[in-house]
Structure 1
Amino acid sequence: MVDDLQAVQEARLVRRSRIAVAAIFCVHGSVTGSFATRVPWIQEHASVSAGQLGLSLAFPAIGASLSMPLAARISHRFGTRAAQRVLIALWTLALILPSLATNMLTLCAALFVYGATAGMADVAMNALGVEVEHRMGRSIMSGLHGMWSAGALLGSGVGTIAAHLDISARIHHLAAALVLTVLGMVASQYVLNIYPTDDEEAPPRFALPPKSALLIGAVGFCAVFAEGASLDWSAVYLRDVLTTSAGVAAGATTGFALTMAIARIAGDAVVNRWGPVRTVRVTGAVATLGGILVVTAPDPVVAMIGFGLIGLGVAVAIPLAFVAAGNVGTNKSQAIAGVATISYASGLVAPSIIGGIAQASNLTVSFIVVTVLTLGLVFFAPVLRPRTA
């Protein structure tokens, strides 16, 4: 009787934690969406050129890559609940900083802090998501990342309205940061509170990704590269290669983002039915087909379908890479931080590599590279196989 009662209480706690972690993912995505829509305002008020802005926008990824290993250390020291509460608050409040920049130097510094807090909060919430998934015994990570996408769409929608109303980004981001901080801290009160065992060593402050996470990181690298390339260059591809209008070209980016969000929300049902390996093999093949359609498209409609298929194909690979990382070694947060670092590095280099290849040849060749990397998902999929004790 006592065991049954404890089991019921544990199940209730896990379900509550799942809802809380989903809310945290949504908050995290909302910060990203809120920032992205106000980049033109920030550029204007920081008085930076397009080239300087491009350089500045590399600093969030640099900050995230350098700070991610710290998240494991913080969770080990203070427990998962306190760590998540502090890290999500630092991330939401960091939204205020970029709009305060008055020159390139202050903008780079602000974006470095913005990226560093984003990375630490990202590792903490994914580690919690993996733990909840383990306790529930079924896939939930794809849906959690779908909540991130939904939050990004929500944040960008509010940001678009603020921009149309000509509201200062400083006012907009201050208000958004305060609201999101409260929501994030409230949600953090209901996540699982996990402390390390007495004999568990603290993870290092900074460390290279564990060897066992490198192949899993390759899945993240391929997926994030294709995601970053498609988000940043799909509209340019339609405009320059297929000579479409700016409005039609922008539709490719929107379609890509929507298919990713939908695929992630629906992805858990597919993963629960097929398992992670088969799912990534099939979705990787779908993304590869999308890449082939893009590079061979005779008209904008075919290219937009291709970008939609790329979004559909890469959507679940990242969540499943985090789950696989959580099965590696004795410290989930450290392995997840390693995979996240490799993935963020991919997001950092993807736009510049695509641009460099386009400069040397053309954008079609750039997306041939993207297509090859999506095919890599098919071959790397076996590293996502769940490990048994």
Structure 2
Amino acid sequence: MTQARLRHGRVSLGVSFFAQGATFALLVTRIPAIQDRYSISDGLLPVFLAAVPVLAGVGSVLTERVVTRVRPSVVLRWLQPVVMLALLGVGAGTRVWQVAVSLGAFGLAVGGLDASMNMLGVSLQRAYGRSIMLGFHASYSLGGIVGASLAWVGAHWDLALFVSYLPAVAVLLPAALIGSRWYADADADAGAGGVPGPTESGSAVAGDAGAAGRAPVVFRMLLPLCLVMAFAYIGDSTVSNWSAKYLKDTLGSSAELATVPYNAYMVTTLLGRSIGDFGVRRFGPVTVVRFGSVLAAAGFAVVAIAPGAWTGILGFTLLGFGLCVLVPQCFAAAGRMFPGASDAAVARLNIFNYVGFLVGSPLVGALGDAWSYRGAMMVPMVMVLVASLYARSFGRVPAGYGGGHDGQERPRAVDVG
């Protein structure tokens, strides 16, 4: 694969991550408006909200089967428009069955979309021979900030959902379709006779790496990464669903100040992911994952004992810097662990994204109501701290870009940017 093809593939995949971040944010930040539009009761709303990640998990499983016959780039090219059109469907309907169909389509498609995006990211990272996965997820975070900002504009001006969604989709959909022309299935192209990138393991003999990679995905080996993925999303869903309520009801902030923690969390997530690849190249994935887990646990501890609102905001800010590295490194480690079956490993790992999302918010809410919200914050704190114990699993196969810890980054015959 040529240098230009790799660069174009990297940029186009970054556009896809950005578009997905914006699309998802436009949906989740307007849930109250969706509930009002369709007169969904408080008792029925959790069913709708749970259905989306459940169907997304199904979509991820189906994608594992599909990519044995069709390249991940093809799956991504056609699923991204489905997700955006489903978003428009959510805004355009008038009856409960219509929003149910739209959300169902959104859930199924987003599971395949998340899986195929990360499959491409893992294969591109292998071709580059250095850490680039955090950069893709930084694009997702930036898209999330943009999408949440657009949603705020729609809510502020009291725009109908369809009117709020249409301009964003009108821009993002053509951009994603145009960008999809340059998607690069690095693994498939190398197998088809292209110029292979260096392997993640640093082996000088590509055939040896390929032979090792033909082994099936062993769930026992993948399980530590699955747990870290679930713990990370439990922490993330805690921030997104409970930070405003915690600041207002527990720490006594104003309603306006209560909106700050999630914004601070999103910004620090973006900043952390923007520089995270440099940290992985310098210190190695094990150190970065361990540091991120401990920092996230410290953030939850600060939140739990905060005497006031601004201390709580500091805690949520630390959480953004800590949690942001875990999910991208889970996908990268799965790709290294099963180099010849990375698509299957990524699809299975991706399911635990939705497991964490499903578990996190109800768990914290139930503990908060039955006990206290300060105490409830200690539960995700313990989970992300436990994640640090699994950090060594991220170095089970040498990454090849970890300074003195995983070996110096391999010299490359060409610089692919």
The TM-score with structure 1 as length reference comes to 0.91
Partner of 2:59: 67
Give 1:79's match in structure 2, choosing from 66, 71, 83: 71
Whichever residue aligns with residue 377 of structure 1, its letter is: A
Is contact 2:73-2:120 (8 Å) kept? no
Secondary structure of 2:69's counterpart equals helix
Secondary structure of 1:58's counterpart equals helix
Whichever residue aligns with residue 331 of structure 1, its letter is: A
Give the alignment of 1:140-289 within 5 angstroms. 140-193=132-185, 195=188, 210-289=219-298
TM-superposition CA deviations, 1:128-159 (whole Å, max 9, x none): 01111111111111111010010111122222
* CA distance in structure 1 between the aligned counterparts of 2:105 and 2:36, rounded to whole angstroms: 20
Partner of 1:301: 310
* CA distance in structure 1 between the aligned counterparts of 2:325 and 2:51, rounded to whole angstroms: 26
Secondary structure of 2:253's counterpart equals coil
Partner of 1:368: 378
Whichever residue aligns with residue 351 of structure 2, its letter is: T
The Cα of 1:189 is off from its aligned counterpart by 0.9
Give 1:134's match in structure 2, choosing from 113, 126, 130: 126
* CA distance in structure 2 between the aligned counterparts of 1:91 and 1:333, rounded to whole angstroms: 21
Pair 1:324-2:295 in alignment: no
Is contact 2:337-2:396 (8 Å) kept? no
The Cα of 1:114 is off from its aligned counterpart by 0.9
Is contact 1:276-1:384 (8 Å) kept? yes
Report the RMSD for the aligned CA atoms in angstroms: 2.3
The Cα of 1:348 is off from its aligned counterpart by 1.1
CA gap of 1:188–1:38, structure 2 versus 1, over 3 A, is same
Give 2:113's match in structure 1, choosing from 118, 121, 139: 121
TM-superposition CA deviations, 1:199-258 (whole Å, max 9, x none): 99xxxxxxx983332211111111111111111111111111111111111111211111
Partner of 2:413: none
Partner of 1:382: 392
* CA distance in structure 1 between the aligned counterparts of 2:373 and 2:128, rounded to whole angstroms: 44
Pair 1:354-2:346 in alignment: no
* CA distance in structure 1 between the aligned counterparts of 2:346 and 2:98, rounded to whole angstroms: 31
Partner of 2:411: none
* CA distance in structure 2 between the aligned counterparts of 1:93 and 1:100, rounded to whole angstroms: 10
Give 1:340's match in structure 2, choosing from 336, 347, 350: 350
The Cα of 1:101 is off from its aligned counterpart by 4.0
Secondary structure of 2:67's counterpart equals helix
Pair 1:310-2:319 in alignment: yes
Give 1:109's match in structure 2, choosing from 101, 113, 120: 101
Is contact 2:59-2:111 (8 Å) kept? yes
Is contact 2:55-2:104 (8 Å) kept? yes
* CA distance in structure 2 between the aligned counterparts of 1:236 and 1:369, rounded to whole angstroms: 17
Is contact 2:5-2:184 (8 Å) kept? yes
Secondary structure of 1:306's counterpart equals helix
CA gap of 1:361–1:209, structure 2 versus 1, over 3 A, is farther
* CA distance in structure 1 between the aligned counterparts of 2:92 and 2:11, rounded to whole angstroms: 34
TM-superposition CA deviations, 1:244-302 (whole Å, max 9, x none): 11111111121111111111111111111111100011111111111111111111111
* CA distance in structure 1 between the aligned counterparts of 2:154 and 2:259, rounded to whole angstroms: 20
Q: Give the % identical residues.
A: 28
Whichever residue aligns with residue 184 of structure 1, its letter is: A
* CA distance in structure 2 between the aligned counterparts of 1:248 and 1:234, rounded to whole angstroms: 11
* CA distance in structure 1 between the aligned counterparts of 2:282 and 2:247, rounded to whole angstroms: 36
Deviates more, 1:257-266 or 1:191-200: 191-200
CA gap of 1:283–1:388, structure 2 versus 1, over 3 A, is closer
CA gap of 1:276–1:144, structure 2 versus 1, over 3 A, is same
The count of residues paired between Structure 1 and Structure 2 equals 376
* CA distance in structure 2 between the aligned counterparts of 1:284 and 1:120, rounded to whole angstroms: 28
